[in-house]
Structure formats: structure tokens, C-alpha cells
Chains A and B, each alone.
Chain A
Amino acid sequence: MSSTDVLDEVVGSEYKHGFVTDIESDILPPGLNEDTIRFISAQKEEPEWLLQFRLDAYRHWLTMDQPDWAKLNIDPIDYQAISYWAAPKSKDDGPKSLDEVDPKLLETYEKLGIPLAERAALAGVAVDAVFDSVSVATTFKDKLAKEGIIFCSFSEAVKDHPDLVKEYLGSVVPTGDNYFAALNSAVFSDGSFVYIPKGVRCPMELSTYFRINASNTGQFERTLIVADEGAYVSYLEGCTAPMRDENQLHAAVVELVVQKDAQIKYSTVQNWYPGDENGVGGIYNFVTKRADCRGDNAKVSWTQVETGSAITWKYPSCVLRGDNSVGEFYSVALTNNYQQADTGTKMIHLGKNTSSTIISKGISAGHGQQSYRGLVKVAASADGARNYSQCDSMLLGDQCGAHTFPYIEAKNPTAQVEHEASTSKISEDQLFYCQQRGLGVEDAVSMIVNGFAKEVIRELPMEFAVEAQKLLGVSLENAVG
């Protein structure tokens, strides 16, 4: 068997989170107009200003076109065929304590490896569980409150901390920023809200686990994290969805506000359903993530492991406004079968002596296609700005593709911008070496790929790193041998 055949066989993943939870839900009929938005807002008993925020976004969205500059083949999306609200029925009367959460939901998260009961919970990780359009549980809230930390669902934040939400919502990603951000701003359902007060180091990892369950629904979550002066938080995001034949839209917006001397570490393991081996079904993952380093010495790092979704369109970015602020982007993206990903980052250097690091690792197998798209922009004001970018691609087989689009705009002569790129094939020599030491082909591929992605994986918090390593292996099962 030629090595290409071998590789073709090893790629061919089995999605482990594809089950559906049989739970009664309130689902809004498909369709999008101002009434839909009023309905969502009313369901959540939102203040008038927030309804207005949504309506402004919607009206702006109507004037926009879906972007087509990414190297992606996207079937036309009928925005009127999507349902914009789905919530498990028992959730009508607002947030409840964990004991009151529907056992079916607890069981769902248990199955996904995210136990929500605090006694069984992962040590040192607080979880906000978002099921379709609503947050169903947030753990360790009280413990965190003792430190003055706010960690709750977005809807609760709107009710309990309206001033904070009003101050920061849309301040990093304006409603009209881009097509999908505008759509999200109009119809977002739930998500997580985090506020870390001045000088507080969050004592545990905060994590949101997103689950799409209902069919024909979109998920539009909104995450807002504010680290006040000198604060620190590490935040994790995980996602899965059932296996369904139709494509489902997920258009999220994540805003990070990093004040002077503060640091946010944001990690994602994205494992939305990728579609089957023929490219049928799967999630469209069109996400806007941006961090604003507002004060001096602010630091933000994005770490992402993207193995899921039929199509990923995602560029977590850093606006380095404060002097000496630091932005980092570590990414592993894996595309198998007919998955497509166009992902990368934007580093916008505005402050003096700002620095950024980009490490991107792309792995393509089967007919997977992916592009790294990155922008490093150095404004005239950014004396002494530095960037280092490294983009490595690994191909498994000869039907897949990897592309790199690095854009550099440097308006300050003192800027130092360095870019390195490489493309490699998993080599027959490496495979044979592993086999000669007794390792099966699948284990060998998984090992080689994990080695390739190591610089990124090691940036993840421990529990996530283990999960991510397994995921890379599983996503490549049958890609070889």
C-alpha cells in the first residue's frame, strides 16, 4: 500500500459527541425580522437600551453582504430558514440552582465529560454550561463571588450587572464590525460574562461549555470578559454538537477587555460536528473574537485547537493599544474529510514597544482545505513594535491543501516583523520509524501530529491539553493504515 493510501485510510474520523438529547424545548419558528429580535429580547426581559442595541445591529446587518474574501466554499445560507431561539422548556422561569436543573441536561454534560455537580466537577474549573440558546448552569459562582469575581451567564449579567454590560458590550467588536458580528449583535442568545476586579488573580480556570442540541437552530453566543487593572484570568471554551445532515450556523462574538497590567488567557477547544466523511452536515463556525489591550503592560493570549466544524471562519485578534502590551496567538487547526478552515489572527500594534507572537499549525487530511490568514499592522505611533509569526502546515495525503496569507502593514520604521512559514508532509520515514518500534500506524500518525502541534498544545491548561491531544488523534482516525 502506498503511503498516500495509508494516510487516506487513517483519516476518517468518528465523531464522539454526536448524540441528541431528547428534551422538550421551546423553539421559535424559523425566520428573522424585527419581531424575532423583539421576541428574543422580551424572553430575556432585557432593558430597552439592549433591545435598541440589537435593532441597530439588525438594521445595519440588512445593509451588509456576507463576506466572500475567505478561501472557503460556502453554500448559500438562508437566514430565514434558521430558528433563532431554542431553549429547554424547564428553563422558563429564569436561572435555578444546580439541583433544579433538568437531570437530562446534567446527564448530557456528564456524557460530554463536563460534570456540573460541584462535588464531581473538575478540580479548579468553574463551568458555565450553555445549551442551545440559554445558559443552564454555572458552577462555583458563590466561591468566585467572594473574590469579587463575576462569572455568570450573559443574561444574568444583563439583569444583575447592567452597568458593566452597558459599558463594555460592543466596545471591542462594534455592532457593525462585520456581517456575522452584526448578525450576532442582533440575535445573540446567551453566553458567559466575566468580570475580574482590580488586582484580583482568578483562583480557578473559568470555562464555558457550548452545546448545540436542537436542529435547524443557529447558536449565537456572546462572551464578554473584562480584566480590570492588574487582574488575571484563564478562560476555557469548549463546544460540541450532535451529528445532523443539515449545516447549522454558529456565529459567536467574544470581546475581551484587558486593562493596565492585566492578563487574559483565552483557550478554545472547538469540536463542533464536522460533517460526515462525504462532507454532509456540520457546523458553520463564523466567529469574531477580539481582545482590546487598553492599558499599558496588558497581555492577552489566544490559544485555539480547532478540530471540528464543516467550515471555520475565525480570526481572534489583539488590539495592542497600551504601551508594552503583548498579544499572542497559538493555533492548531485540523481539517479532515471535506472540512474547510480559514483562520488566523490580526495583531494591531498601536502602543509603543508592543509585541506579538503568532504560532499557527495547520494539519490537513482527506480533502480538507485550510488557510492561515494573518494581519500584522504597525501604526505610525507604535515605536519599537515587534512581531514574530510562524506558520507551519502539515499535509496528510495528497488531496488536501494548505495556504498561507500573511499580510503585513508597517507604518513605523522601527518595527521588527518576522515571518516564517513551512509546509511538510508527514514523511514515510517518520511513519516507518514509528512502526519499526512497534507502534501501529494510527498511533504513529497521532503521535507525529501531536508533536507537530506541541508548541501550541503546551500553551493550554493541563486538562485541556490532554483533551486536545486525544482529539487530534481521534479526528485523524483512519487517516492512515
Chain B
Amino acid sequence: MEKLLEIKNLHAEVGGKEILKGIDLTVNYGEIHAIMGPNGSGKSTLSNVLAGREGYEVTEGEVIYKGKNLLELEPEERAREGIFMAFQYPVEIPGVNNSYFLKAALNAKLKHEGKPEIDAMDFLTLVRDRMKIVEMDDKFMSRGVNEGFSGGEKKRNEILQMAVLEPTLAILDETDSGLDIDALRIVAEGVNKLRSPERSVIMVTHYQRLLDYIVPDFVHVLSDGRIIKSGDKSLALELEEKGYGWLLGEDEAA
């Protein structure tokens, strides 16, 4: 199987403090990887490092994406190359029209791919189609980006953006948190619709219930900046039952 992403011995610091302490992870095209682990273990940090956020300094190791060194790309270049991060806390951009923003994002990607910009009508058709997937009302498109959206609405908006931008690697950081049961199902369907042999997903979550909807190929447990256990979907069920204690103990013993 062809590798999309290869993380080797990744160490990263935030604010001078080492948070990631040697991560190894390979994601092949078409795979869905779930990352679980206690609060503060470094899950969001890993997502941010992959997306290229400022202030997250890689001190050791490498990340190869589509066969190239990912770490030397600017965040916007990574995005145009197909990395999409659904934020744990999507930010509000007051006054910037949601639809305008999304169109600008799509056009940035199209331009990067050497394709012509999408015209207003085609864009409208595309967005309408994708909005059906996340069951979002038209009125959200004329509001400011996430401006005054409820927590769940923000998360749906993330999935809408993802559905429109059709990333190669989607990184979902706790997209399930703060969602009611219906929204969870809707968001999960959005992700499942995107599932294809050309795309991969890294999904950070605390809860098995998301994995009931989006069945992962692999489950990894992150603790204190390291992946301490990897397995298939049954690992998540085991965690749900036993918590992290037994793993942490095992880690200490090792």
C-alpha cells in the first residue's frame, strides 16, 4: 500500500517545553487512524505540528507527506497540498462572510493545482450539495465565519469546509466533542462520504461512540508525547471498558 504520511521519531516543543517525545506513525492512502489518549497527552499538539502552526517547534525527526518533506512547507502550502485540519475550537472571524471565505479557500487550492477558479454559480451548486451532507441551513452561509455559531454548528461548519475542499489528509481534532447525538451522526456521515482510497483521516477522539459511526482501520494511544499502544478497532472498545490505567502501567513497566 502506498504511504501518504510518514512520521518518524517526531519530537516537538511548545513554549520551550517538549510535548511530543518521539512519535512514529505511518498512514497509507485510504486509511482511517484514530488517536486516543488522556487529556494533555499531545494529541492537539500533533495535529498542530502537522498543520504547521507557528510556535510548535520540531526539534527532532521528520515528516514525509506525499513523498516530500512536509516540515518545510508554510501552513497555507500544506493546506493547498490537501491537509485539512478540523479544529477542536474553531475560531470566529467576525464580518467575514462564511461563503466568501470558503470560496476563497477553494480557489486558493484550485489555483495551486493549476486549475481555473470556480465561478459563483458552480460554487453555489457545490456548496448546496455539500450542505445537504451536514444538514446545514442556507442561512449559515451568509453569516460571518463561525460568528455566533453554537459549538455544534461550528463543528458542522468544519465538516462542510472539509466536504467542499476534499482534502487528501483530514485531521479531525475532537470533532465529536460538544455534539448532540444527531449532530454526531451527521458529522460522522460527512466523514464517511469523504472516505475513499485516495484519502486518509487522522481522527482524534476521546469516545468510542464516534468510532461506532466511523470505523477506524487503526487505533493508537498517545500518552505523554508517545504512542504507547496501537491496535485495530477493538483497542478502542477495550479502552472504553478499562480506561487508560492498565496501559500507563504497562508503559511504566516497559
Contact = CB atoms under 8 A, between A and B. Distances in A.
A66 interface: no
A400 B199 CA distance: 45
Given A450-B95, A453-B95, A433 B87 contact: yes
A439 to B, nearest CB: 6
Contacts of B93: 430, 433-434, 447-448, 451
A440 B91 contact: no
A432 B96 contact: no
A438 B108 contact: yes
A439 B96 contact: no
A107 B195 CA distance: 57
B94 A452 contact: yes
A437 B101 contact: yes
A259 B53 CA distance: 57
Contacts of A453: 95
B95 A429 contact: no
Contacts of A448: 93, 96
Contact of B144 (A6, A435, A439, A451): A451
Contacts of A435: 52, 74-76, 79
Contacts of A439: 76, 104-105, 108
A143 interface: no
A41 B40 CA distance: 78
Contacts of A438: 76, 79-80, 105, 108-109, 112, 165
Given A3-B54, A430-B93, A436 B85 contact: yes
A471 B52 CA distance: 30
B161 interface: yes
B196 to A, nearest CB: 20
Interface residues of A, number: 27
Given A1-B54, A438-B76, A455 B101 contact: no
B151 interface: no
Contacts of B87: 433, 436
A260 to B, nearest CB: 36
For A429, A435, A454, the residue with the greatest tally of chain B CB atoms inside 10 Å of its CB is: A435
A450 B96 CA distance: 7
B95 A443 contact: no
B126 to A, nearest CB: 16
Given A1-B54, A438-B79, A433 B90 contact: yes
A441 interface: yes
Interface string A410-439: 000000000000000001111011111111
A441 B54 contact: no
A451 B104 contact: no
Given A433-B91, A436-B79, A438-B112, A447 B104 contact: yes
Most buried by A among B75, B144, B161: B75
Interface in B41-85: 51-55, 74-76, 79-80, 84-85
A430 B101 CA distance: 12
A278 interface: no
Interface string B146-169: 000000000000000100010000
Given A434-B93, A448-B93, A451-B144, A440 B75 contact: no
Interface string B93-113: 111100001101100110010
Interface core residue of A2, A437, A448, A455 (most chain B CB under 10 Å): A437
A6 B75 CA distance: 13
A432 B104 contact: no
Nearest to B96: A451
9 contacts: A428-B55, A432-B51, A432-B54, A435-B52, A435-B74, A443-B108, A447-B93, A451-B144, A452-B95
Given A435-B74, A436-B51, 16 more contacts: A428-B54, A428-B55, A432-B53, A433-B87, A433-B90, A435-B75, A436-B85, A437-B108, A437-B165, A438-B108, A438-B165, A439-B76, A443-B104, A447-B101, A451-B93, A451-B144
User: 9 tightest A-B contacts by CB?
Assistant: A451-B95, A451-B96, A454-B95, A438-B108, A437-B105, A438-B79, A435-B75, A435-B76, A429-B91
